[in-house]
Structure 1
Amino acid sequence: MSFYLESLNELEREILFELEKLHIYDCHEHLVPESERLSQEPDAFTLFSHYCQHDLYTAGMDKKTMAEILWKPGDIDRKWQRFEPFYNKMRHTSYCRAAHITMEKFYGEKELTRDNVHIVSKRIKQANTKGLYDRVLRDSCKIIASVNCDGPLEDTHSGRILQTVRAIDELCSREDIIKKLGDKTGSLDDVLKAVQKYIGNAKTNNAVGVKFMAFPIDGATREDARATLDFLLSDKSLHLPRRNPLNEYILCCQMRMAHENELVCCMHTGYWNDYRELSPSNLLPFIMKNQDVKIDLYHVGYPYVREAIMLGKVWPNVRINMCWTYLISQIFAFEALDEMIEMLPDNKIFGFGGDYYVVEKVFGHLIMARETISRVLAKKVREKILTQERALEIGRKMLYDNPKEFYGFKD
């Protein structure tokens, strides 16, 4: 229990112990192939790269310094000297908590200090050997398989990595069209054929989903898309915003194509850069007309949480995915899950997705997820809304049954 909050009460601990026994599905990652990770030169600062870098940046660290500390080999003492002032400002955040849990589990130190930064760096290098992914994901996390984004389709890690592909989007200029679809794209039919080939190739190579960004859907027609394509191809200097008829039309066509190829539409909603573009409610026009298309709604739409929950409440083809959520804020994740259990059938929630490219940090996030889920379920038991048996059933469904059923996974 050393990795969990000491404030957990007896009932929360009982539920947590049961959740720890489960073998689970990890519903979203960004893991590079293990061979790529092993070719790198990780050090203590690697643990404070993915997601922690955002808190370092907003605490005042400039991007050049960040890149030199987090992603490039260098003198450890010099790195620490530049890192420490900003680390001290953000070491209490949820992003940092996952890093600290990870560091304690695998490298024996609870926080990074001037005295242990060399020790942690040495231990990370020593552990960066073949089998790292299995030691973390299979042995420490009890993960059956991870749904992954950005990895090559052929990287399946003996069936433990289930790849998705990114949708073709951001067709905003002639350069974009040629780069993403080829230089023989002269008509809308050419575009659609290229997109269909891309989605078909994903299916042929055992992808399980296509990842989309939840950009606004304004009702663009085929004619609108054709006119926009002709306009862009006519002048290489033109550059439209992402919210344009061609982009929207191709987005909707790809979602149908994904469905026709038995692939899940994995939707990034909410938090990221200009998150105003990515409200879950943007998807409503498509969902209303396409209730057969499987929608896996990432991040509970944060900060548009209730918009996301309402899509799960109203539409049978929508699932709510809690990937990334516990890292953003355990308080938000607790409140969202508390509300969802009250509102949604028990097959609607996916309980965990690490959402990391640093594999060890998946463990830290999973600890925070189990902790939060246990606290919510215990609350429901104390309130007499659930029996303990029913609470554990819901916990198992969130972490195992629901993703398995929706994606059609085989253990």
Structure 2
Amino acid sequence: MRKVRRGVEHRGDGLSQDPGMFRTFWEPLNLYPDVLFDFTVLSLADQHQLCVLVKNFPNAVCSGLWWYCNTPSIAEQVVRMRLEILGVRPQNGQNTDAYMLEQGYYKMRQYKRALSRALASMVEDNFFSEEEAVEVARKLLFENPIRHFGLDRSRIEEQITKLGGDLR
């Protein structure tokens, strides 16, 4: 939703414009079953509806936390809700916009902390074992984006290794 605050037209405000807005996606999701639709929403109120949409359409995935949902407490809540409703397959970890590189780095670190807290609580609740939680994190942050977007895995692994990263 835009233009809620007068004089500020070109940014989202995080408020749902229409509770039925997800219905607008039913037709394209049905018409183009071979096209992957990747969704991110601004509002916490829309997160559950997004999960329901993604659960019902095999060509829909959800990614990341944007703007007003990208806070520690909300991020942890949304990460856990998505895992409980969707499982691991139809979602990617963090995606973000950033005005500068440092902002993207900060947002990714914040997402990883929220993911860690959500997974730790799910391990405590016997939803996952510790080993499964590590695998869930790997899928959300690495495996799923490669599969969903047809990325070149070997090239990504090469770049991670060059940067001193560990893929274990």
Fold agreement, TM-score > 0.5: yes
- The reply to whether residue 378 of structure 1 matches residue 120 of structure 2 is yes
Say whether residues 1:311 and 2:38 are aligned partners.
Answer: no
Task: Give the percent of matched residue pairs that are identical in Structure 1 and Structure 2.
Answer: 21
Q: Which of the residues 269, 272, 282 maps onto 2:12?
A: 272
Q: Is 1:283 aligned to 2:28, yes or no?
A: no
Assess, with a 3 A threshold, how the Cα gap between structure 1 residues 318 and 297 changes in structure 2: closer, same or farther. same
Aligned CA RMSD, in angstroms, stands at 2.6
Question: Following TM superposition, by how much is the alpha carbon of 1:335 offset from its aligned partner in structure 2, in angstroms?
Answer: 1.6
How far, CA to CA, are the matches of 1:276 and 1:300 in structure 2?
11
- 1:306 shift after superposition: 1.2
The ranges of structure 1 where at least 4 consecutive aligned residues each deviate by more than 6 angstroms after the TM superposition are none
Q: Kindly tell me the number of residue pairs found equivalent between the two proteins.
A: 144
Structure 1 distance, partners of 2:39, 2:91, is 10
Partner Cα separation in structure 1 for residue 119 and residue 100 of structure 2 = 29
- Give 1:347's aligned residue: 89
Cα offsets for 1:176-235 (capped at 9, x unmatched): xxxxxxxxxxxxxxxxxxxxxxxxxxxxxxxxxxxxxxxxxxxxxxxxxxxxxxxxxxxx
Partners of 1:319 and 1:349 within 8 A in 2: yes
2:138 aligned residue: 396
Larger radius of gyration: 1
Runs (5+) with no aligned partner, structure 1:
1-57, 64-270
Given residue 384 of structure 1, which amino acid in structure 2 is its aligned partner? N
The alignment partner of 1:341 has SS state of: helix
CA distance in 2: counterparts of 1:355 and 1:388, whole angstroms: 31
TM-score (norm 1): 0.32
Q: How does 1:152-163 map to 2 (within 5 A)?
A: none
Relative to structure 1, the CA distance from residue 395 to residue 350 in structure 2 (aligned partners, 3 Å threshold; closer, same or farther) is: same
| DSSP-derived class of the 2:101 partner | coil
Matched, 1:333 2:78: no
The DSSP-based 3-state class of the residue aligned with 1:319 is strand
Contact 2:43 2:68 in 1 (8 A): no
Q: Does 1:320 align with 2:67?
A: no
Amino acid in the other structure paired with 1:358:
M
Do the aligned partners of 1:321 and 1:352 also contact (CA within 8 Å) in 2? yes
Relative contact order, CA 8 A, sep 6+: which one is greater? 1
Q: CA deviation at 1:309?
A: 0.5
SS in 2 for 1:397: helix
Shift of residue 393 of structure 1?
0.5
Say if 1:301 and 1:308, in contact at 8 Å, map to a contact too.
Answer: no
